[in-house]
Each structure stands twice: as structure tokens, then as C-alpha cells.
Amino acid sequence: MITTEFPTLQDFHIDGIKHITPDEALAAINQGEAKLLDVREENECVLERIKNDQVQYLPMSEITERVSEIVADKPIIVVCAGGVRSSKVAKFLMLNGITNCASLEGGMHLWRALGLPTDTLL
């Protein structure tokens, strides 16, 4: 899984957070090298999801109470709508002992713009 110390496709950044491009993320989850943690809220996920067995849905609003449900047996790629919440959650995970994680650059907006696979009701 190829990550960078600074984002290349978005402006928002939090020091210490690794970033991964959508193409690299898709390759990593398809090869079973990483898991995707979708932290969008339920109303966002109802409309569009990344369909893959390696995706776990855990809304950011519930992350502090449910962090113990995250199985970190593989690197975790955190995704949100645009890359801001995912960076914040990645920082939270790191502070809580899940250090092998990265934020998906551009979030679902960029994923969709690149034509990567989704299961959508739109």
C-alpha cells in the first residue's frame, strides 16, 4: 500500500496523517492488503457505497464509542465525503493505538469523479 506524508490531490492536511490516492486505495483493498473504514453518516451511505467485502461502515459521530469494533489486522484506509473527516478520524485512530492507517484523498467525491466502482441508488 503506497501512502504519502502529504496529500497530493487535496489541500486539507493534519500533521502526522498519511494519505492515499483513490487508485492506490482500490488496489490495496482489492488485493486484500487493506481495509476501508467509511466514516460518513448513514444518510450519506444510503445513497452511495463502495461495494467491497473489505469495507466497514462506522459513522464519525459514533467513532469514539465504537472504536473497539475496528479490527486493525490490516492497514486501514479511512474515507469520508471529501477527505476532511477521514483525516480527523485517522488522527483519532492513531491517538488510540491504530497507527497503520491513512486518509483517502478527496474522499468519495474524488472516488466517484475518477469513475471507481460504487453501489449507488442515485
Torsion 102-16-21-59 (CA) sign: positive
Site of grid cell 459514533: 62
**Known catalytic membership, residue 80:** yes
101: DSSP letter: E
Q: Which of 34, 80, 81, 108 is catalytic?
A: 80
Whole-number Å distance between alpha carbons of 2 and 20: 7
Catalytic residue numbers, as ranges: 80
